[in-house]
Amino acid sequence: MAPTETYARDDDAKLEATRARLSNILRRHEDLKERLSRDSDKLIFERLQKEFEAARAAQTEEISIDDDEWNDGLLATIREKVHMEADRKAMANQVNVPADLPFQSRTTYRIRNKVIYCLDGARIGIQYETFFAGEPCEIFHCVLESKSFLEKMIVIEHTLPFFLPIRELESDLLSSNSIKFIDHLEEILQAYIDRREQVRLIKELYGNQIGELFHSLPYNMIEFVLEDFECKVTISIRYSDLLQTLPSQARVLAWPLRSAKRISTRSSSASAAQPVPFHLSYAEEALKTLCLPEAYADIVLELPHALKRIFSSRDSD
């Protein structure tokens, strides 16, 4: 047996072993993610969902707020309302008056895709509604509280995914710019849902063409492999910011298969047994300018022509 063939088989065996270990790690990762996202988190979600639904049922009006009207003054008014209601109930208890006397008004406020509720116990509840392709997706909750109207608010409960940086944002923004904190959570949640649903859609539409697909929990790192072509194509995309729905970085490599008739090599030495990958720049540009399902369709449509041009160019060298 020729030495180059031995090296190639050894490398293939090592690569397959690495893939098997990685696949096992990813399966364990998915199991862990599922355990972390159920049980206590689901109990919190169900309880808050019921409380928010009760608050909606008890509301006397819902006011739609324009961006210009959503400001510190309105938030201060909402904070004042929940503290006044908490004080009223406390005083009623002291003089043996039923504490469940009706609110003069129970107003909720809708700003874009979030609804703000006045909750019992001097708490403010924000319900975030997310969408993809115009259709509603998940609902998330965040509950803010302060001991008095003059003290800073804190996040006491939420149903946001644990891997999103809500505590970092709370520390950086909530006390200094509460409006920005509330709006920033909305943007991060919507971007997360957008990235996640794009991945779900390509798996649903093109799952038979995708050999392997890996992603981080916030879907800000995504990698997948196309194997149904003359080359094995590896696609890696990165989002430098959790607010992004289009990648900031994209890397697409085509690896000629060993069984292919035309394999480009750089020398006749032992290393020549290793296929030399090449960039697919058109694919990288598509990924950075189109949503993932559209970019995928463009890549696959153009791929045979791109490979033909590359092979023809290399054959002529």
Contacts of 224 (CB under 8 A, 6+ apart): 202, 210, 211, 212, 213, 214, 234, 235
My answer on whether 150 and 225 are in the same domain is no
Confidence of residue 263 (pLDDT cuts 50, 70, 90): very low
Please tell me the distance from the alpha carbon of residue 184 to that of residue 172, in angstroms, as a whole number: 11
Mean pLDDT on 102-111 = 78
Confidence of residue 230 (pLDDT cuts 50, 70, 90): confident
My answer on whether 121 and 184 are in the same domain is yes
Structural domain contains residue 28:
no
C-alpha separations of 286 from 106, 233, 292 in Å: 49, 15, 9
- Using one digit for the tens of pLDDT, what is the confidence trace for 121-132? 999 999 999 999
The count of domains in the chain is 2
My answer on whether 60 and 108 are in the same domain is yes
pLDDT, position 269: 47
My answer on whether 294 and 235 are in the same domain is yes
My answer on whether 218 and 280 are in the same domain is yes
Structural domain contains residue 22:
no
pLDDT, position 310: 81
Confidence of residue 148 (pLDDT cuts 50, 70, 90): confident
Q: Are strands 61-64 and 107-111 parallel, antiparallel or unpaired?
A: parallel
Which residue among 143, 166, 193 closes a domain? Answer: 193
Mean pLDDT on 16-29 = 67
Q: Which domain holds residue 107?
A: 36-94+103-193
- Using one digit for the tens of pLDDT, what is the confidence trace for 74-106? 999 999 999 998 888 778 766 665 545 554 568
- Using one digit for the tens of pLDDT, what is the confidence trace for 27-70? 666 666 655 555 567 889 999 999 999 999 988 899 999 999 99
**pLDDT of 313 higher than 90:** no
pLDDT, position 118: 93
Structural domain contains residue 266:
no
